[in-house]
A and B are shown apart, each in its own frame.
Chain A
Amino acid sequence: MLFPKQMSEVELIVPSKDLVAVTRTLSGYGVFHQVDSAYLGLESQGPNAWQDKAGAYSTLERRIQAIMQNVGLAEEYPVKAEIESVVDMDAVRPGVDRIEEEVKGVSDQLSGERKRLELLESQLRQLEPIADVDVEVGALKKSSFMHSILGVVPSANISRLRTSLLRVPHVFFILREDAQKPVVWILGIRSNSDVLERAAKSAYLNPLSLPDEFGGTPEQITAMLRKEIESAKQRISGFEADLARLGGSYKSELQKLLWDVHISRVMADAIVRFGQLRHTYVVVGWAPTADLEDLTSRLKEASREILIETMATSRSGHHAQVPVALTQNKWLKPIQMLVGTYGHPSYGELDPTLLMAFTFPLLYGAMFGDLGQGLVMLVLGILMHNKIMMKGMQGLGLLIAYCGVSASLFGYLYGSIFGFEGHLVEEYLHFHFEPMWISPMENILSLLSIAIDVGIVILMFSFLLGMLNSIRSQDWAHLLFGHSGIAAFVFYICFLAMLGAFLGDTALAPRVAVAINSLPLPFTTLLAVFGVFVMFGGFFRNMVEGHTLIEGKGVGGFMMFLIQSLMDLIETVISMLSNTLSFIRVGAFAVAHGGLSLAIFSLAGEEPDAGFWITIVIGNLFIIGFEGLIVGIQTMRLHYYEILGKFFHGGGMQFEPLKLSSSQEET
């Protein structure tokens, strides 16, 4: 739970005859992360037929998906899908061809009818600007002396079209101004008809093409077009019903075909990345050590002659190439999502999910403490998680529910319910509700001080986790002299002692800092000594790692090194101060929450009439939506900038096992 799953490297030598069976096992079990053997220097021998097969399966899969889309079927696999073998293309293709042909016949007609409908509607739109002109449109074509062009032209081309017509006498009307498809009418003398036509054509003017059956005035044509549009819509409905019927009758066959071709494609894709020797294939990858025994026995069932070599990888040291499989827990999924946004843990590194599952709701609740609003968030989160509202946001729903629980608890501690606090509860809600711990509005400085204390504890814990990570990765240089190493940690403790001494017994003084300062230790001397370690951290790290002591000493010489080291120290002090004070926002937002509620009350007035309660309800909704979001962002900010940066580096490679369907992942 605290660390990614232990992984083992797996190397397989597979006889050619068992290739498909082994691939089926690897893909079907869903625990094997494949490594492309090309990266290991294994070249395939000659042209790879599997490459072509993979391409052919991929094309066929897309064709089946297109058919399913056409008949309105979701891309689903059969309910009881068996993982069989790579299907023979010649066996499945005729089935796909047959259904495709039948579906295509109807879908082509549907598409043709839709295009016709679009054309009719566009003709109708084009006629609208001249609907009140009482002339026969056909007569324009039959004119003896005039040449007329009526049509739609891209708006960007109008100016150029006008320029191109400058050399011949003409009249140019824009009958309908439209950002996309303006309707224009060009009229010139018949002897210039070639110039007019060429200009219109090269400006991409699409002439209004009314079929011969549409004669008469625009008004008459419009009536005919409307009638045609109606019958086109009816035909479209008919074709859609035909497709739906086809979808119904071919549903199971298409799902089976899709499944067969899909697994064949996945297996062919995997085989393409195998290393090929003369009579055998080399398969390399990773699997969680816990699943190794089961995987091995399945592989041996698939091939008696398979050679399997496994090598467990210890979590210590650097393992950039090891894929990282995190423990799946559906209750922690939203927190994992938040951690994933920051980075994917590397192998051997502490997975901060569990820590964040505790601190995220804690800090959120502390900033947004309100019993009533918290319960509303809890209900909202449960509804979202159970897909009753805002479907597709189950993860976020769970996170909102956690935050809601925490906000309710803190609301109970702060004595706040839907913004009502203290005497307001008795006055308007008619029951007694005292803060169980502290009222933010009445103890502002104390709350700010407590917030800093909480921040200090979290930061110290983060330092310790950073050191733990360094120990696990045997990174002794960073353990001793890194930014979250021992020297920096002791320096931070001394820094807190100084802060405690400086603030003394003021209301804002963090109690942890004051307590540290009261310890009988020579903090000033320690601060100076460890300040030197922090200042020359790079130098000492190089010393431990056996690198050149002063990097780039040729550039600027020793003085430059000293200046850089001094800047490092100043930056460290500033960042420690800002990291610590950053947690003030936890208290500040708790106070701001109370202040925002007061603002709502001042808008609502004093009389508890309907207007008062409407304002209170709207105000509460506003606070939940607006402040709730801001507090969420602040909580994320605290984690990403102040907490995770101390011990979490990320950059791990995600474990992506071979699998045949997305449902395996969910399983």
Chain B
Amino acid sequence: MASGVSGYAAISTRVRAMYSDLLTPQEMTRLGDSPDLPALVSALKNTPYGKYLSGIKDNEMTPRRIILQIRNRLADSYSSVVQQAPEQTRPLVKQLFRYFEVGNLKAVLRSIQTVSSWNSDVAAWDRVREVLFPFGAFASIPAQAMVESGSVASAVDLLHGSPYEATMSFAMKRFSAEQNLFPLEVALDLDFWRRLWAEIKNLKGKDREMGGKLIGSLLDLNNLMWVIRYKIYHNLSEEELINYTLPFGYRVRDEDVRAIAAGADIASVVSRIYPNIHDVNTLLDHPQSGLPKLEHLLKQQVMRQCVSAFIGYPFHIGLPLAYLLLSDFEIQDLVVLVEAKSSKLKDEEFRPLLLKTTLI
């Protein structure tokens, strides 16, 4: 089993080369300066995203289509890393990639649940396919057949044999009773992160340390935002908050989550975990605008962890993971730009939403 220098020599070099292809904050700023969507696309064609956008004709240049094409780059990056990663780390990378399939699965279920008024199956699938992540050969869900099945129960039946079957079979009992996708989505999220964490625990040495650090940071972000959102927006009880969150992570400990669930002051808990995030109180005073800002700041914390992975000993899974996460964050920024330009938002409305700044 290849590990250490021999296992990582090739992939580290490749990932470093791909890392250098990520957009710089200056390039992101220049892209943001584009006057409109066509100008943005034209500017993007001069970046590594160019080859993904070159095939789109002018009449197909919709924001959804552009975003879909841009996401193809991330799919290619995952595919490349999965193929080159040492054998023992591949299950972890594959499971991390499933994050997007979980997103696709949620989108499919939402489309069935919320858009039942669509006239024909063709229109339904055509409308859904553009918002799905291009998962390609790794896909394990029959998305089109699910959309065309017409009901959530029939769609979930089609998941037989997929990694989601067991989780969904439990959650479907609640869906049948409540006719609400919330329990299905929470079950999918919890299952995804539990599996991902289990894959990290299967690793050894530096791989385990770096995997725990990077994926743990991402999990911290999710876990913390879940408990805060469920508490503030859904008014869930302590026991529900505990059951809808996870007891592991990198910085966020189970005690922190349980403290928030039990009614402790959220701002003081967050400030204790992240002392460099200021004014948490102010953010939480206006949750509608404050929580997205808090999430934005937490994402930047994860990005810093990712950037720091490229410093020091390079022969571990941290480098590929960090690159993939940074790539994802970059695409989130590009999505913001595409949406902003297509909606003609002003600079001050979208620039604060960009993750990649010179401060990272």
Residues of chain A whose beta carbon lies under 8 Å from any beta carbon of chain B = 43, 52, 55-56, 59, 62, 152-154, 156-157, 159-161, 163-165, 167, 180, 195, 198-199, 201-204, 206
A198-B239, A204-B171, A204-B174 are known; give 18 further A-B pairs, CB within 8 A: A55-B122, A59-B148, A154-B170, A159-B247, A161-B243, A163-B242, A163-B258, A164-B242, A167-B239, A167-B262, A198-B237, A198-B240, A201-B174, A201-B240, A202-B243, A202-B244, A204-B170, A206-B173
B167 touches A195 (CB 8 A): no
B45 within 8 A of A: no
B65 to chain A, nearest CB (A): 15
When A56-B122, A206-B173 are in contact, do A154 and B166 touch as well, CB less than 8 Å? yes
Interface string of B226-266 (1 = CB under 8 A from A): 00000000001111101110110000001000100010000
Collect the chain B residues with CB atoms within 8 Å of residue A56's CB. Answer: 120, 122
Main SS at interface, chain A:
helix
A sample of 23 inter-chain contacts (CB < 8 A) reads A43-B57, A55-B126, A56-B122, A62-B148, A152-B170, A153-B170, A154-B167, A154-B170, A156-B190, A156-B194, A157-B243, A159-B247, A160-B242, A160-B246, A161-B243, A163-B242, A164-B242, A165-B239, A167-B238, A180-B166, A203-B243, A204-B170, A204-B187
B121 within 8 A of A: yes
User: Of residues 130 to 170 in B, which have CB atoms within 8 Å of A's CB atoms?
Assistant: 145, 148, 166-167, 170
A156 touches B243 (CB 8 A): no
Roughly how many angstroms separate A163 CA and B254 CA in the complex, as a whole number?
10
Collect the chain A residues with CB atoms within 8 Å of residue B258's CB. Answer: 163
Collect the chain B residues with CB atoms within 8 Å of residue A198's CB. Answer: 237, 239-240
Roughly how many angstroms separate A199 CA and B240 CA in the complex, as a whole number?
6
B243 to chain A, nearest CB (A): 4
Chain A: CB-nearest residue to B186? A202
B255 to chain A, nearest CB (A): 11
Collect the chain B residues with CB atoms within 8 Å of residue A206's CB. Answer: 170, 173
Roughly how many angstroms separate A501 CA and B47 CA in the complex, as a whole number?
59
Collect the chain B residues with CB atoms within 8 Å of residue A163's CB. Answer: 242, 247, 254, 258
A151 to chain B, nearest CB (A): 10
User: Of residues 54 to 75 in B, which have CB atoms within 8 Å of A's CB atoms?
Assistant: 57
Collect the chain B residues with CB atoms within 8 Å of residue A167's CB. Answer: 238-239, 262
Residues of chain B whose beta carbon lies under 8 Å from any beta carbon of chain A = 57, 120-122, 125-126, 145, 148, 166-167, 170-171, 173-174, 183, 187, 190-191, 194, 236-240, 242-244, 246-247, 254, 258, 262
Chain B: CB-nearest residue to A163? B242
Roughly how many angstroms separate A327 CA and B258 CA in the complex, as a whole number?
71
Roughly how many angstroms separate A43 CA and B171 CA in the complex, as a whole number?
48
A195 touches B166 (CB 8 A): no
Chain B: CB-nearest residue to A203? B243
Collect the chain B residues with CB atoms within 8 Å of residue A154's CB. Answer: 166-167, 170
Main SS at interface, chain B:
helix
Chain B: CB-nearest residue to A157? B243
User: Per a CB cutoff under 8 Å, which of B57, B122, B239 touches A164?
Assistant: B239
Collect the chain A residues with CB atoms within 8 Å of residue B236's CB. Answer: 202
B166 touches A164 (CB 8 A): no
Roughly how many angstroms separate A202 CA and B190 CA in the complex, as a whole number?
12
A199 touches B243 (CB 8 A): yes
B13 to chain A, nearest CB (A): 18
A364 to chain B, nearest CB (A): 31
Roughly how many angstroms separate A556 CA and B19 CA in the complex, as a whole number?
26
Collect the chain A residues with CB atoms within 8 Å of residue B170's CB. Answer: 152-154, 204, 206
Roughly how many angstroms separate A160 CA and B126 CA in the complex, as a whole number?
40
Roughly how many angstroms separate A91 CA and B81 CA in the complex, as a whole number?
51
Leading 3 A-B pairs by shortest Cβ distance: A202-B243, A199-B239, A164-B242
Chain B: CB-nearest residue to A207? B173
B239 touches A202 (CB 8 A): yes
Chain B: CB-nearest residue to A204? B170
Roughly how many angstroms separate A84 CA and B240 CA in the complex, as a whole number?
62
Roughly how many angstroms separate A153 CA and B194 CA in the complex, as a whole number?
16
B237 touches A195 (CB 8 A): yes
Collect the chain A residues with CB atoms within 8 Å of residue B166's CB. Answer: 154, 180
A204 touches B238 (CB 8 A): no
B247 to chain A, nearest CB (A): 7
Roughly how many angstroms separate A43 CA and B240 CA in the complex, as a whole number?
56
Collect the chain A residues with CB atoms within 8 Å of residue B247's CB. Answer: 159-160, 163
Roughly how many angstroms separate A152 CA and B148 CA in the complex, as a whole number?
31
Collect the chain B residues with CB atoms within 8 Å of residue A165's CB. Answer: 239
Collect the chain B residues with CB atoms within 8 Å of residue A156's CB. Answer: 190-191, 194
